[in-house]
Structure 1
Amino acid sequence: MKGTLKVIIVIAVILLVLGGLYGSTYNTLVTRSEQVDAQWAIVESSLQRRFDLIPNLVESVKGAMAQEQEVFGRIADARARMAGAGTVDERVAASNELESALGRLLVVMENYPQLQSIGTVNRLMDELAGTENRINVERNRYNEAVRTYNLAIKTFPRNLFAGMMGFETRHYFEAAEGAQEAPRVNF
């Protein structure tokens, strides 16, 4: 009888420890997952600010320079893809396309110094530059949150429970292919 009671107590302690570890792991992973989601919301907010600024900038530049329709068309197409993107990966790809098209516009503007003398264009360019900086900072913070989360679900002992709980690795916000090269505009 005493031996049976000891076995029951040992089993109960083991179950309590495993239950506590499972609960603690779950709570940690939920917290980290929410941090990733919250940081992505901040990135999306910055992307939305860029999305909202671009039409004003494009219209201001169009008024001074109607012959660069290809650049404006690419920006419009990229904005449309951004608006229609549903998943995080689609939003990242659309954002990268928009960033590339915007880079081409900036090169065009550098080739037309008279545009820089237009006050509206200057103000919008300053706002856009500030927004681009914010986007970069928030992307970095998002990637750090993803790194922390991914490490949490891949390290022992959490990795034993993460798959059973439905937690999967998240994707980093990566630069678009070819982003290391400056855009070229030929006239």
Structure 2
Amino acid sequence: MIIEIIIGIIILIILVGIVVLYNSLVQLRNRVKNAWSQIDVQLKRRTDLIPNLVETVKGYAKHEKTTFEEVTAARSNLMNAKTVAENQVANNQLTGALKTLFAVAENYPELKANENFKDLQAQLSQTEDKIAYSRQFYNDTVLMYNNKCQMFPSNILASAFNFKEAEFFEVAESETATPKVEF
């Protein structure tokens, strides 16, 4: 009788452990999805600001057609990206195109003084900061989730219930290169 009670308690402890581990995996997976949606929200905000910015610059720099086309194409690619990897590539393209757009704006002092342009530029800068924070939060969440998927004993449950590791949002190599400063 006592052996049966002990075996029952051991089985109950194992079942509770499995439930706790499973629920923690689900919770972390959902945090990863939530963190990704936060990045998505900020990327959407940025893509919404870009047409206004482009139109403002167009009024001053009518001959910069290729720059506007690059920004528009990069924005479209970002809006159509589905996976983390596609989003990374499209985001890097858009960042490069925006750098070119702001370089064009530098050639037009009256544009730089335009209140609408300055406001759009400030909003875009704030959004870029939010994107950077959201990326960091996402990657931290992915790290916790992936650790849980890889560490014993939760890795057994992760494998059994088909929990897949999440992708990190990585910066392009061109963005991590040390800039060359010359005086």
Task: Give structure 1 regions of 4+ aligned residues with deviation exceeding 6 angstroms.
Answer: none
- The equivalent residue for 2:119 is 123
Say if 2:25 and 2:148, in contact at 8 Å, map to a contact too. Answer: yes
CA contact (8 A) 2:53 2:120 kept: yes
Say whether residues 1:178 and 2:177 are aligned partners. no
Partners of 2:139 and 2:53 lie apart in 1 by 29
What RMSD in Å do the two structures reach over aligned CA positions?
1.9
Per mean C-alpha deviation after superposition, the further-off stretch among 39-48 and 99-108 is 99-108
Q: How far off is 1:136 after superposition?
A: 0.8
Distance 2:15 2:89 in 1: 41
Give distance in 1, aligned partners of 2:175 and 2:47. Answer: 19
Shifted more, 78-87 versus 20-29: the winner is: 78-87
Compute the displacement of 1:18 (Å). 2.2
TM-score (norm 1): 0.87
Aligned to 1:138: 134
Structure 1, unmatched stretches of 5+, are none
TM-score between both structures, scaled by the size of structure 2? 0.89
Report the Cα offset of residue 180 of structure 1: 3.0
2:137 corresponds to which letter in structure 1? R
1:9 Cα deviation (Å)? 4.1
% identical aligned pairs: 36
Q: Distance in 1 between matches of 2:109 and 2:176?
A: 25
Match 2:70 to one of 71, 74, 81: 74
Contact 1:100 1:179 in 2 (8 A): no
Q: How far did residue 49 of structure 1 move?
A: 0.5
Task: Tell me the matched-pair count.
Answer: 179
Instruction: Kindly indicate whether residue 56 of structure 2 is the aligned counterpart of residue 63 of structure 1.
Output: no
Aligned equivalents of 1:170, 1:159: Cα separation in 2: 14
SS of residue in 1 equivalent to 2:63 = coil
Q: SS of the residue aligned with 1:179?
A: helix
Residue pair 1:85, 1:94 contacting (<8 A) in 2 also: yes
